[in-house]
Amino acid sequence: MIAFVSGPVAALAPDTAVVEVGGVGMAVQCTPNTLSGLRLGEHAKLATSLVVREDSLTLYGFADDDERQTFELLQTASGVGPRLAQAMLAVHSPDALRLAVSTGDEKALTAVPGIGKKGAQKLLLEFKDRLGAPVGTARPVAGATAPAGWRDQLQAALVGLGYAAREADEAVAAVAPQAEATAAAGGTPQVPQLLKAALQTLNRAR
């Protein structure tokens, strides 16, 4: 198993970082929150989990060991593959997930794209004795606190991908109506989806 990768960041994409390890570029799938902490050319160390399939080898990267262990633990539930597990960590920190499970918070789980009410109820039952109790301050990652939280996270993610602050500001402004409409409807703006929309506006502008 590849427990971590360490080296300079060679490239950044909306959902991937390439870390140079011994002259080899390792492509690592990451959440926007993890990507926002990376900078091109700077040294990075990511905890990793290798997912092996018949037709692929995919390396998932995390800011720390707690995220990686939670990612692997989430996949012990039926119906939860690596992509859904990563989506859950894109929306909530490990402690926020532990808190949601310990308090039976369906709404927190349905904030994750791909999880409906019935799916949330099923996961709450399956995770009840697996995730454990929160160990620190539970902090949502993808805008599940104040509605304005998505702005700072989206800005940081875009700057982390190499865009200038001015370009990031313009992209954030471009997707603001989409985020505000989601919030007005009682939903939670999701940073991964907003990041994709923001990148599309930046690509059109170039």
Taking only the tens place, the pLDDT of each residue in 153-170 is: 787 777 767 778 888 888
Fold of domain 66-127: DNA polymerase; domain 1 (1.10.150)
Question: Hey, which residues does 18 pair with through a beta bridge?
Answer: 11, 27
Identify the CA nearest to 62 among candidates 98, 17, 31, 93.
31
Domain ranges of the chain: 4-62, 66-127, 149-205
Question: For 103-133, how does the pLDDT look when each residue is reduced to its tens digit (9 = 90+)?
Answer: 898 988 988 888 899 999 999 998 887 787 7
Cα separation, 113 vs 120, in Å, equals: 11
Cα separation, 94 vs 133, in Å, equals: 10
Identify the CA nearest to 203 among candidates 172, 171, 177.
171
Fold of domain 149-205: Helicase, Ruva Protein; domain 3 (1.10.8)
Cα separation, 166 vs 201, in Å, equals: 14
Domain 4-62 has CATH 2.40.50.140: yes
Predicted TM-score (pTM) of this structure: 0.66
